[in-house]
Amino acid sequence: MSRVYLPSLGPDSWQASLADPVKHWRVGYSARTLAHSWEKANGLPFEVAAMFEKPAELLVALPEHKVPLAGGQRDSQSDVFALIRFGEETCAATIEGKVNEPFGPTVGEWFANPSNGKRLRMRQICDLLGLDGVPPLDVRYQLMHRTASALLEARRFKTDEAAMIVHSFSPARMWFADFERFAGLFGMAARPDQSVAIVLNSGQRLRLGWATGNPEYLSQ
């Protein structure tokens, strides 16, 4: 994977980085909607900036950023990885764009009859998240590995905190209950358009947030 990133020429520049540039680039779906929202903001979208208690500034955004995890060749690919400055601190954030698409398989579905590679990956993720073992089977696995990716990149870039933010454009807030369930693993009470933060046993600070995007981008 190349470590060289080129400046974006607009929303269509994001399409080439998708796993399936044809199937995933559709009006009203998360990849295209997210691209238009972030490009129009020319920085942090207002609702994402609102996840931070202090004025927040986007330092760099990397669409479809891949983070290697243990136990296999398939990386965790975030819709956006963002380095964010807020006040005198910095944050490494993975952004998960959503419209009506679900968060993928549950832990129970993904970890059924696990291979050695899956066991190794689950152990790494649980260690990063500060979990004692495999979480309840109804938790969405995607939320786990996206958050683990943020924690890994926060260590790599030596930021003050890591964040996993769901940037949702669903008017009905579809799948918020799954996010709320995940936040509950850390004793967090999730609320739409607010963030919550804790310090993990590792000493890393973790922020989780659900940001409601502007629905006007669903038609672009």
If the chain, 220 residues long, is cut into consecutive pieces of 10 residues, what is the mean pLDDT of each piece? 83 90 92 97 97 98 96 92 98 97 97 97 98 97 98 98 98 97 97 97 98 96
* Within-domain flag for 77: yes
Secondary structure letter of residue 106 according to DSSP: B
Phi, psi of 114 (to 5 degrees): -70, 145
65 in helix, strand or coil? strand
Please indicate, yes or no, if residue 51 is contained in any of the structural domains.
Answer: yes
| CA dist., res. 136 & res. 35, Å (int) | 33
Residue 131 inside a domain? The answer is: yes
Number of domains in the chain: 1
* Domain annotation covers residue 9: no
Please give the pLDDT value at position 23: 87
Residue 7 within any structural domain of the chain: no
8 found inside a domain: no
Between helices 141-157 and 116-129, what is the axis angle to 10°?
60
Question: Does residue 89 contact residue 160 with C-beta atoms inside 8 Å?
Answer: yes
Residue 141 belongs to some domain of the structure: yes
**Long-range pairs for 200-205 at CB < 8 Å and ≥24 separation?**
200/129, 200/130, 200/151, 201/130, 202/128, 202/130, 204/151, 204/154, 204/155, 204/161, 204/162, 205/160, 205/161, 205/162
Q: What is the pLDDT of residue 24?
A: 86
Closest by CA position to 176, among listed 200, 152, 209? 209
The per-residue pLDDT for 212 is 98
Q: Kindly report the pTM of this predicted structure.
A: 0.96
Decide if 1 is inside a domain. no
Predicted pLDDT of residue 22: 87
**Domain coverage including residue 85:** 14-219
